[in-house]
Structure formats: C-alpha cells, structure tokens
Amino acid sequence: MTLPHPGHPGAVPILALEDILLVTFQGEPHDAMAEQLQQDVAHRVAGSAAAGVLIDLSGVEMVDSFLGRVIAEIAAGARLPAARTVLCGMRPAVATTLVELGPTLPGLVTTLDVERALEPLRHGACAAPGGPEGGT
C-alpha cells in the first residue's frame, strides 16, 4: 500500500492491490492535483508490473473538461506498458458530463463499483486497447 508522495500535499493516493493500482478521488480534484496524478500514475505503471489501473470516482460530485481529459490520458498512458484501466463509481452527473464532453476513453472499461471493477482486471477480461469497451 502506498500513500501520497510527501512532496505532494493533497495528492490523490495511489494504492497497490497486488498488481492493480487503485486511485481513489476524495473530494473535488483541482487542476494541479489532476496533473500531478497523471504523472504519478504514469511513473507507478512504468516502474511496476501493474496489470491495471482502477480509478474510483465515487467521491467526485462533478467532472470538468480538464479532469475528463486527464482521465483519458491516464487510460492511454497505462495502455503503453500493457496495463488496463477501469473507471468505477461514477455518479450519474459525472457519467453524463463525461459523455457530453466527448473525450475518447480508449481501452477504458466502466463498472458500478470497486468490487465489480476488480473482476475484469484480475481475470484479464478488459477490452483490448482500441477494442470495444464494456459497461457493467
């Protein structure tokens, strides 16, 4: 289990669950926090044998276009070393906003909660990069 880097006050924690990195947003992330998260996830994926990145948005009330783009870039960056990304816990308003913003989320699977998100990551059932996404 890993806590935020001491040099990043208020950073979004990235926890290691076996070979899965769990990113849990708590509250509304500001732009600098989202940018730092993108860098931290890329660093952790590159420096480990992570099979997947699980992004839990259950603590987020609203998403803007910047955060939507950051999520898309995290997913794209995780795919480079063959890790998959699953997005879970979206409130209806967050899901609607992401759809309306129209960011492309390649290789991203969505699920209702963390428990359901672990299944495709542990069993390799995520869509292949560039393939059709699941939405359970």
Q: Report the distance separating Cα 68 and Cα 65, nearest Å.
A: 5
- Cα dihedral 22, 84, 73, 103 sign: negative
Parent domain of 112: 14-122
Query: What are 20-51's pLDDT values in tens digits?
Result: 999 998 877 888 988 899 999 988 888 888 88
Contact between 53 and 23 under an 8 Å Cβ cutoff? The reply is yes
Query: What are 63-105's pLDDT values in tens digits?
Result: 888 888 888 888 888 777 777 889 999 999 888 888 877 656 6
Q: Is residue 127 part of a domain?
A: no
Which single residue is written with the structure tokens 């076996």?
18
Q: Is residue 133 part of a domain?
A: no
Q: Is residue 41 part of a domain?
A: yes
CATH number at residue 90: 3.30.750.24
**Number of structural domains in the chain:** 1
Q: Is residue 129 part of a domain?
A: no
Q: Is residue 128 part of a domain?
A: no
Q: Report the distance separating Cα 44 and Cα 64, nearest Å.
A: 25
Q: Is residue 31 part of a domain?
A: yes
